[in-house]
Amino acid sequence: IIALTANALAGDKQKCLDAGMTDYLKKPLNRRELMATVEKQLAHAAELLGASVGWDPRACECRPTIGDVDHGGPALASSLVPPYTAAPEPREEAAPPLDFDSLSERFMGDWDFVQVILDKFQQQVGVDLDQLEQSLIEHNAQQTASLAHRIKGSAANVSAIEISRLAAELEAMGRAAELDDASAHLGRIKAECQRLDQFVQRDLSAVAAGFAQTEKS
């Protein structure tokens, strides 16, 4: 049993092992680390069984997740999020909405799969943001923290670092039940999500082509 947790504090791995886990991985999930961990545990299981197990990581069809998606929830929005006129326009000098190096590393340069994962993230985050807005209307701090936590993790999994950072701050507001500035903070998250949506539509293909060319050379 391999534990998968968003916690990365000192002692978390030992707690998982003490609870009976065989190994430990932390989010955001790295595909190479997952392959290596599974391969190690299969080899160990083969030793215990006294049999050899052939394992080719290239044949693995597993795919890393983008967060705790509720597949039974409402229909996914066709666009990322509704317009949010109160949010400021992103500055031209702002950093790209994605960390391309970590994104390429996490998905092993498979940019077609990156596109699939980003599409799923964009669809689900639209639903999560609508629910977040409703939780703030209801002054539900616990639900606010839970939804912000989900966005934080799924954004980290697609290397949307700024969205993850803003969601972590909103999660902290919810856990502290201090929601006075939460609506404004939600506006900043929406603006960053819109910036990501625009980037994916306009620039992602060129970035992927550049990485592919670099890998060939």
Q: For residue 83, is it within any domain? A: no
Burial 144-178 (b: 16+ CB within 10 A, else e): bbbbbbbbbbbbbbbbbbbbbebbbebbebbeeee
Task: Provide the pLDDT for residue 203.
Answer: 81
Residues 127 and 182 reside in one and the same domain = yes
Q: Same structural domain for residues 141 and 37?
A: no
The predicted pLDDT at position 79 comes to: 43
Q: How far apart are CA 10 and CA 91, in angstroms?
A: 37
CATH code, 150: 1.20.120
pLDDT above 80 for 188: yes
In a domain, 128, yes or no: yes
Residue pair 81/135 in contact (Cβ under 8 Å)? The answer is: no
Q: Please give the model's pTM, rounded to 2 decimal places.
A: 0.62
Which of 27-36, 51-60, 121-130 has the highest mean predicted lDDT (pLDDT)? 121-130
The answer on 205 and 137 residing in a single domain is yes
The answer to whether residues 207 and 150 belong to one domain is yes
Judge whether 106 lies within some domain. Answer: yes
Please tell me whether residues 47 and 129 are part of one structural domain: no
What pLDDT score was predicted for residue 4? 74
User: What's the mean pLDDT when you consider all of the chain?
Assistant: 78
Q: Is 37 inside any structural domain?
A: yes
Tell me the percentage of the chain whose pLDDT exceeds 70: 69
User: What is the domain range of residue 31?
Assistant: 2-59
What's the pLDDT tens digit per position in 57-70?
A: 555 555 554 444 44
Q: Find out whether 193 and 148 touch, Cβ atoms under 8 Å.
A: no
What the block records as the tokens of 44 is: 């160990």
162 lies in some domain:
yes
Q: How far apart are CA 193 and CA 165, in angstroms?
A: 12
112 within a domain of the structure (yes/no): yes
CA end-to-end span of the chain, whole Å? 40
Mean pLDDT of 111-117: 89
Q: What is the pLDDT of residue 127?
A: 96
Does residue 85 lie in a domain region? no
> What is the structure's pLDDT at 49?
65
Structural domains of the chain, count: 2
Q: Are residues 113 and 10 in the same domain?
A: no
pLDDT in tens, 128-149: 999 999 999 999 999 999 999 9
